[in-house]
Amino acid sequence: MADTQVLYHDLATNGVLYLDLAFDLHVLPADLLPYVPLFARALLETGAGQQGFVRLSQRVGRTTGGIRPKVWISAILDSQFATARLFLRAKAVPEKGTELLAILRDVLLEAHLNNQERLKQLVLEEKASKESSLVSGGSHFVDMRIRANFHEADWAEEQIGGVSYLWFLRKLAAGFEASWPTLSAAMERIRSLLVTRAGMLCNVTIDAASWRRFKPELTSFLAALPSSPVAQSSWQIGEGPSSEALIIPASVNYVGKGANLYRLGLTPSGAAHVVVKYLRTTWLWDMVRVQGGAYGGFCAFDHRSGNFTYLSYRDPNLLETLDIYDQTPGFLKRAELDKTELTRSIIGTIGDVDAYQLPDAKGYTSVQRYLVGEADDIRQRRRDEILGASVADFRAFADALAELTAYGQVVVLGSEQAIQAANTHRPGFLHAAQVV
């Protein structure tokens, strides 16, 4: 295992072996990123070797607790670069470890990526899934679209899961037969770049005695995989318009506005999470949801990148909601936080940071923290900053939000009528594009 990173977590797992294989997506050129979700599904849903899709699925179900792909992308602490991984998350009883590794070897090396009919079905399923989730998950699409302008990690996530990905799928589905040679070549190219020992990371969660038995099997499994040098690709973020409207056939809107607060002067501190918790449960809840009539009004903050977004869910308003966002700095400046209210926000925030986890989640969270550079001392410092949050932190956050008011980017996913009305009131404010 000399050329493959292996992380091991000695935890009591009640007799279950948890194995995560992580493949570095940063070895892919940017134009291959939208193909990644299709590739991830194709590994397990096209058949492998002498087995078709049904027989492979039966084999997985018969001998393991499941194998599922997961794409995970995050900003790296104190960096403008992303860590991006395709995980194959697997589990089995230790006695079935050999068979689990045999299945993983087959899907990695012999998956039927040239199965045209199956790939076509996957494209259509992905397209239908994204289209059906536009209304139910509109805030998530808006959030991704805004953040994509500020950090490589968020840009990559939008390429493989946001509106950009939906547009990619539509183009692929509309002329599938003509696109098939390109799609087939992309699948094989991704496999050749990703499936290599040097670019892999193995994350194992199991008790020590079971690990001693499993380790030689894992070593043999890795030795059978290709070994080729890896090189990181450069991903160029393409900035969108400062105010964008995405039209969907709905009578409600999803209204977002955001910016990178670190670039606007905010000093990184765990106390920011306390302010965000306070805004979600007071001002935004009261103004956007209770008074504005939206189903939800909230905000999100990524302490790793510094990206902050205001968001509304199933919102009958548009410009009115943006006005509420712009009034938020003034609310924080005026807020008279007594000790009880501040303590309540601190306790709620700590509960989020140190939520209870089962053993498999502990192992997976640990590898995520390793990949972003979030060591234990950094996490402890963030806890201390949360516990020590003060009114001064609220005022500093308000100053950064005042800059966001002036320079933040707006994305609206909503009805054509509401978008037209907004542009009538503020000519040329929103650059509109049809989504559905």
What digits encode the pLDDT tens for the residues 43-62? 999 999 999 999 999 999 99
Could you tell me the sign of the dihedral formed by the alpha carbons of 166, 169, 174, 179, in that order? Answer: positive
Mean pLDDT across 158-180:
96
Domain boundary among 223, 253, 271: 223
> Which H or E run contains 168?
helix 163-174
Checking if the pLDDT of 355 tops 90, the result is no
Residue 29 inside a domain? The answer is: yes
Over the stretch 225-282, which tens digit does the pLDDT of each residue have? 999 888 899 998 877 778 999 999 989 999 999 999 999 999 999 999 999 999 999 9
Mean pLDDT across 319-331:
98
Residue 18: predicted pLDDT: 98
Residue 1: predicted pLDDT: 61
Beta bridge partners of 18: 91, 205
More confident: 71 or 231: 71
Residue 322 inside a domain? The answer is: yes
Residue 311: predicted pLDDT: 98
Residues 67 and 212 in one domain: yes
CA dist 374 and 366 (Å) reads: 9
DSSP, residue by residue, 239-260: ---SEEEEE-S-SSBEEEEEEE
Residue 432: predicted pLDDT: 82
Range(s) of the domain holding residue 114 = 5-223
Q: What is the CATH number of the domain that holds 301?
A: 3.30.830.10
Residue 233 inside a domain? The answer is: no
Residue 231 inside a domain? The answer is: no
Confidence of residue 338 (pLDDT cuts 50, 70, 90): confident
Total residues found in the chain within this entry: 436
Give phi and psi for 19, each to the nearest 5. -130, 125
Number of domains in the chain: 2
Residues 253 and 205 in one domain: no
Confidence of residue 2 (pLDDT cuts 50, 70, 90): low
Could you tell me the sign of the dihedral formed by the alpha carbons of 400, 401, 402, 403, in that order? Answer: positive
Residues 265 and 410 in one domain: yes
Checking if the pLDDT of 348 tops 80, the result is yes
Instruction: Count CB-CB contacts under 10 A for residue 396.
Output: 19
Nearest one of 322, 282, 275 to 301, comparing CA atoms: 275
Please report, as a single letter, which amino acid is at residue 364.
Y
Checking if the pLDDT of 164 tops 70, the result is yes
Residues 130 and 204 in one domain: yes
Residue 237 inside a domain? The answer is: no
Measured in whole angstroms, how far is the alpha carbon of residue 91 from the centre of its chain?
Answer: 22
Structure token pair of residue 221: 């499994």
Residue 143 inside a domain? The answer is: yes
CA dist 124 and 118 (Å) reads: 10
Residue 415: predicted pLDDT: 93
Instruction: Give percent of the chain above pLDDT 70.
Output: 99
Residue 352: predicted pLDDT: 87
Residues 258 and 378 in one domain: yes
CA dist 190 and 319 (Å) reads: 43
Residue 16 inside a domain? The answer is: yes
Residues 248 and 218 in one domain: no
3-state secondary structure of 370: helix
Residue 238: predicted pLDDT: 74
Say which range, 100-104, 116-120, 123-127, 422-426, has the weakest mean pLDDT: 422-426
Mean pLDDT across 415-420:
94
Confidence of residue 319 (pLDDT cuts 50, 70, 90): very high
Mean pLDDT across 380-392:
95
Confidence of residue 436 (pLDDT cuts 50, 70, 90): low
Mean pLDDT across 377-399:
95
Instruction: Count CB-CB contacts under 10 A for residue 139.
Output: 24
Residues 352 and 290 in one domain: yes
Over the stretch 198-212, which tens digit does the pLDDT of each residue have? 889 999 999 999 999
Residues 254 and 349 in one domain: yes
Over the stretch 296-308, which tens digit does the pLDDT of each residue have? 999 999 999 999 9
Nearest one of 274, 280, 281 to 349, comparing CA atoms: 274
| Secondary structure (H, E, C), 98-162 | HHHHHHHHHHHHHECCCCHHHHHHHHHHHHHHHHHHHHHCHHHHHHHHHHCCCCHHHHHHHHHHC
Residue 132: predicted pLDDT: 92
Residues 249 and 187 in one domain: no
State the helix-helix crossing angle for 271-281 and 391-407, rounded to 10 degrees: 70
Q: 273-298 burial, b if ≥16 CB within 10 A, otherwise e?
A: bbbbbbbbeebbeebbbeebebebbb
Instruction: Count CB-CB contacts under 10 A for residue 129.
Output: 12
Mean pLDDT across 317-325:
98
Residues 89 and 149 in one domain: yes
Say which range, 12-21, 106-115, 158-167, 423-432, has the weakest mean pLDDT: 423-432
Residues 56 and 187 in one domain: yes
Nearest one of 243, 256, 255, 364 to 317, comparing CA atoms: 255
Residue 287 inside a domain? The answer is: yes
Residues 15 and 43 in one domain: yes
The C-alpha R_g of the chain, in whole angstroms, comes to 23
Mean pLDDT across 379-404:
96
